[in-house]
Structure 1
């Protein structure tokens, strides 16, 4: 029987800091992460998508968290094919001329390889502490299924080894009819975790929430179902509170998947003014009820005076 870890896709976004979720005593980056890690056993590092952190920063994350804490780290945007602001690159690797955003083709090979070297160096302290869950490769909505795209996924995953790798695909062609089986077979063949996404449907970037294990850990990310998904800004797209009946239904589904996996990572990405933290806490409570019955038991590996840490295990 598997272990379910529940967390959120950020611990330091500005709307969360303004929401009052953190006490006044958690007034430093390390203090806030320590407070978060006292309540959740898992977090997704989103900042690494926007800039490659330095090892001193990631070592600080390691030092601020308990031994059993887990980080899932999102890969730098340039690696997965997203146009990336030049200002997000280290100063010594920025092109001397060109547009405000760059892609891989805009960088010399040596600069691109150096970026990967620095990304791996940033993850090294987390991995050395046994706290690295997965490297998340989140591909852009325009990456359609093709032989070249499949090769691209495999090549990037190889750059992340020996660490675990998860893949989030955001183009419907990967899950169109018979393509679904081929996509899942590809991921299984290369030991890559499919990221199951709960998100609004009917949009160009929509993919169905396929709850299966292709590798360890299994991963589910919750984006919410905002009506502003197509035209809203980033905050509006993720401004969504999961209803109790939605969370109860997901608790049943996740408990079923846990029967067939060793580890299941559940991440709430509806990061708007603490809503992700509230929904994650409630889902963990429902998972404990679903998997462990009504007997009062700790929900996770640690408890605090403010509430339970958020993880559930079975078996």
Structure 2
């Protein structure tokens, strides 16, 4: 099955003609969402249970692991790594038990280069999340160099990681290619960030808004759709997340791909108009 959706559920106001959208509204249009609140803060069980009440049975979540796990932040104050991991797992347990967790996502930064130390660290991450479906997103081109790439792919397969299929700017020497290689036949996560070459390396408080400011055109949607078809032929479950939402383009592009691939999702939340 191919599930197509977006990052967050609140930033897609175009779906409901408002500035923001709620989860139960978002779930009328898409069968999967990626939540990044768990990257910034440890989730609370009550919030997880609330999310579950707003989505249909066939809906799935992609949850980012906390930034301390991906070397981008500190462990929450007053906790050890083990304590924060326990808190995280306890909070998401209702989602796991309900069968609505598509996977966890560990997104590593550009500074996480292909070194022996970082390979060993990925082994530690697998130990921490031994019982969970885990997708790994790499951002630095060093992992995709010809002399490293075959071993990297073998490593991902052996650890049962789903190497994230990434689309990002094409004209920068440091970015990675769109590679539809599947490393886990059970599930694959794809994330499309847009192709804003000039904004991808932006820094400062507005960097996030510039980095994903991009709208895929029809030719690019066709290209990405072809890659998704290749992925889905080699994995049981595929989730596609559009993250190009600085200009509120993600939902439109996601719906365009759903149309291009002729997908129909029968078990979404009912549209409000259908109640009358």
Which of 252, 263, 267 does residue 302 from structure 1 map onto?
267
3-state SS in 2 of match to 1:79: coil
Residue of structure 2 equivalent to 1:311: none
Q: Deviations over 1:165-217 (max 9, x none)?
A: 10001111111112111110000001110001100134465111111110131
Q: CA deviation at 1:64?
A: 1.0
**Contact 1:21–1:274 at 8 Å: present in 2 too?**
no
The structural deviation recorded for 1:121 is: 1.2
Q: Distance in 2 between matches of 1:187 and 1:174?
A: 12
Asked if the contact 2:180–2:230 (Cα under 8 Å) also holds between the matched residues in 1, the reply is no
Does 2:93 align with 1:124? Answer: yes
- Report the equivalent of 1:258: 232
Answering whether residue 14 of structure 2 is matched by residue 49 of structure 1, we say no
* 1:101 counterpart residue number: none
Alignment partner of 1:231 is 2:202: yes
Is contact 1:171-1:204 (8 Å) kept? no
RMSD: 2.2
CA distance in 1, matches of 2:174, 2:66: 20
2: CA distance, partners of 1:204 / 1:53: 36
How high is the TM-score relative to the length of structure 2? Answer: 0.90
Shift of 1:248: 1.4
1:83 to 73, 96, 104: 73
Deviation >2 Å, runs of 4+: 19-24, 201-205, 301-307
Offset at residue 261 of structure 1 (A): 1.5
Q: Matches of 1:250 and 1:119 in 2, distance apart?
A: 33
Partner of 1:8: 6
Q: Which secondary structure does the structure 2 equivalent of 1:80 belong to?
A: coil
TM-score, length of structure 1 as denominator length: 0.79
Please tell me whether residue 159 in structure 1 is matched to residue 128 in structure 2. yes
Given that 1:224 and 1:242 are in contact with CA atoms closer than 8 Å, whether structure 2 keeps it comes out as yes
User: 1:210 aligns to what SS in structure 2?
Assistant: coil
Note the residue ranges of structure 2 that are not aligned, 5 or more in a row: none
Structure 1 unaligned spans of 5+: 95-109, 289-297, 308-315
1:161 CA displacement:
2.6
Pick the aligned partner of 2:59 from 66, 69, 83: 69
Task: State the shift of 1:153 in Å.
Answer: 0.8
Matched, 1:185 2:150: no
The structure whose Rg is larger is: 1
Structure-2 separation of matches of 1:20 and 1:258: 29
Q: Deviations over 1:146-173 (max 9, x none)?
A: 2221111121122113110100011111
State how far apart, in whole Å, the 1-side matches of 2:246 and 2:126 are.
31
**Compared CA separation, residues 305 and 228, structure 1 to 2 (3 A):** same
RCO comparison, higher one (Cα < 8 Å, 6+) = 1
2: CA distance between counterparts of 1:151 and 1:206? 23
Contact 2:208–2:246, Cα closer than 8 Å, also in 1: no
| Larger helix fraction of residues | 1
For residues 98-126 of structure 1, the C-alpha deviation after alignment (integer angstroms, 9 at most, x for no partner) is xxxxxxxxxxxx62211111111122111
